[in-house]
Amino acid sequence: MKSILIERLGLVGANVAAVGMLGASPCFGQGASTAAVPEARPADSDPIQTLVGRLDLEKYKATIEALTQFGDRRQGTARNRAAIDWIEARLRSDGCTNTARLKYAYFPTDRQLPSGPPIARGAHAAVGGARYRGIQAPTGVNTDPLRQPDEKLRALNSEPATPGPREEVYCTKIGTRHPQEMYIVGAHMDGHGWGEAANDDGSGAALVMELARVFASPDVQTERSIRFVLWNNEETGLNGSWAYVAQRAALQGREDPPGSGKYPEPKWLGMIQHDMMLFDHGMPRADGTVSKEQRPEADVNIEFQSTAKRAEGAQQLAWAFYAANEAYATDYPAAVGPHMTNTDSTPFMDLVPAISLRESERGREIGAGWDPHWHQPTDLYATFTDPDFRLGLNAAQTSLGAIARLCGATVVK
Ligand SMILES: [Zn+2]
């Protein structure tokens, strides 16, 4: 099996350890025509296993909890700006010291760019091209402060958004051999609904920060670069990620200043978004209620968008993440689906392979009410239990393993 795979990937004569490194060819979609899933078991001396082992459930939980001190972190408020300052300080103290901020402006009256592909609507149509099955429960965004019973949290969340300037923070692990190429690893740090945005998207933001911490360690080298981005304004229509694409797409791969070996915007090899990582309790029951327990068969949902111009490459990227889950995730498996939508990967999906990781599929599952805390006052750190947090940790193990393979990570003495 392995040798067939090596041949198919054009890796004849390569070290078997490279089997997992689909990213040895950064141009997804131009190589193997079928999705090749490498066999999963890492070698005993696998440096990537060492890196995955540096993720920790308690650290992940602590980062989510720390983000909730800023309430729902709604864009255009002081609590949102304070959260960005805190995230930047934390990235720097974790060793990711080359932080930068993208600046843009947001006005609700601006023309909104799409949050997903245009999809024909039918009786069972869900966003992203998915199809509803079984029982659906209502979803929506809570806008009523009085539904937040915690008066302190209600007060913290009380400042409304003001239109105007916005910022979002990122930092970059610079590649040693190919600094001019990078994968983008993202999550959105803003939220709404009068809770603490613990799951949406404290869970994704904390995942990205934990990966930044592990890769920033001085004994870790990667051949390619990795950019960690904490998007703002996701909840208003992906405005922060649309602004990034508008400002920076044309800068890709340029050495600046010439001859410096510095690439302010390395060429994009792929974009991986993390959004709501914790809660997979299954379909609502006939009465609309959802199980209080994480279902034992919970999984990490990896989605690409089949209508994207770069769908073929995105699909291969999705399978590379699936394979990394098989190799490195301790508790929960992964599933791949073709209906990625309503996520900060959308602005990238026609330009580069783009995927999202979530607790459930966005269209037919989250969109059908599988997560009753979504955009609600109950999206609180205290709502979730260790089996929930562990699903997020497994997504972190999946993404760390996949990105480490794709970027050629090693641990140096
Ligand atoms: Zn979200």
22-45 tens-digit pLDDT: 434 444 444 334 445 555 555 558
Question: Is a pLDDT exceeding 50 seen at residue 8?
Answer: no
CA 9 / ligand 1 centre spacing (Å)? 35
Distance from the alpha carbon of residue 322 to the mean position of ligand 1, in angstroms:
22
Task: Report the separation in Å between the CA atom of 261 and the middle of ligand 1, taken as the mean of its atom positions.
Answer: 36
Tokens standing for residue 132: 């509803």
Model-wide pTM > 0.95? no
Closest-CA residue to 22 (of 13, 183, 31): 31
Is residue 228 within 8 Å of 170, Cβ to Cβ? Answer: yes
Question: Of 173, 138, 164, which is closest to residue 287 (Cα–Cα)?
Answer: 138
Phi, psi of 218 (to 5 degrees): -60, -20
How far is ligand 1, taken at its centre, from the CA of residue 358, in Å? 9
Give the Cα-Cα-Cα angle 197, 321, 172 (nearest 5 degrees): 65
How far, in Å, from the CA of 21 to the mean position of ligand 1? 30
pLDDT digits (tens, 9 = 90+) for 122-137: 878 999 999 999 999 9
Asked if pLDDT for residue 344 goes beyond 70, the answer is yes
Look over the chain and give the mean of its residue pLDDT values, rounded to a whole number. 91
34 CA distance to ligand 1 middle (Å): 31
Checking if the pLDDT of 295 tops 80, the result is yes
User: 334 C-alpha vs ligand 1 centroid, how far in Å?
Assistant: 19
Please state the rounded mean pLDDT for residues 195-221: 98
pLDDT for the residue numbered 45: 84
Q: Give 274's strand partners.
A: 187, 357
- What is the reported pLDDT for 117? 87
How far is the centre of ligand 1, averaged over its atoms, from the C-alpha of 84 (Å)?
16
Query: How far is the C-alpha of 275 from the C-alpha of 200, rounded, in Å?
Result: 6
- State both tokens at 204: 């994704």
Hunting for tokens 């340029």 — which residue is that?
A: 254
Per-residue model confidence (pLDDT) at position 119 = 77
Å from CA of 196 to ligand 1 middle: 12
User: Is the pLDDT confidence value at 5 over 90?
Assistant: no
pLDDT (mean) for 369-379: 98
